[in-house]
Structure 1
Amino acid sequence: MNTKELLSRYAAGQRDFRNLNLMAANLRNLNLSGANLSGANLTKANLTKTNLSHANLTDAVLTGANFTETNLTKANLTNATLSDVNLSHAYLRGTILIGNHPSLPTLESA
């Protein structure tokens, strides 16, 4: 599934996008609030200023993803792979970060 199809399905009310391969996808400035992206591969994806509030990112691969100014309010990142992610000024209030995150960067939340 490409970004255009993802947005079309989201606009139609679909929220279940488990195990998608969105490696290096440009998802900048999108509203994906409440989306289920558990198990998705978002390696090196651009999620700058994206609304991922209440999203399920459990077990997602987020290596090298850019979350600058991303809204992750009440998102679930349980067991997500967070190595080399950019969380500069991300909104993290209520975000669930349970799991082994040995390389979690210093968080600068707004």
Structure 2
Amino acid sequence: MSQDLALDGLAVPLRVLRLLAADFGHLPAPDVDVSPVFPGLLRLRFHDDLAGFEAWRDALGIVPDDVVYSEQSGGRTRVLKASVDYAGAALELTGFGDVPAPAPVGSAPAPVGSAV
């Protein structure tokens, strides 16, 4: 049970967090989650910042094809997820961003040279 886990039971993801801070301290700060429920997992999340997600994805060597795309909140929020093993911990990277509203029908500019 996670209720019996001592703090040193989270040493692996906390060590990875320390490594990431030392090696990638110049990257955008994520929302960080370490939990005794999943003691070998480090979660990094970006809310409304897919650029931060992409910077970390690239730094961690995760190829774009390994990113899973989904939507939530009735299609209003896009979700990017990727996972990688990093220095002995499972690292989960998640980015949340708004889905752009589609352009209204008929709002496209007229082609060049056409009469309006």
Alignment TM-score > 0.5, same fold? no
Higher alpha-carbon Rg:
2
Q: Which is richer in strand? A: 2
With the length of structure 1 as denominator, give the TM-score of the two structures.
Answer: 0.24
With the length of structure 2 as denominator, give the TM-score of the two structures.
Answer: 0.23
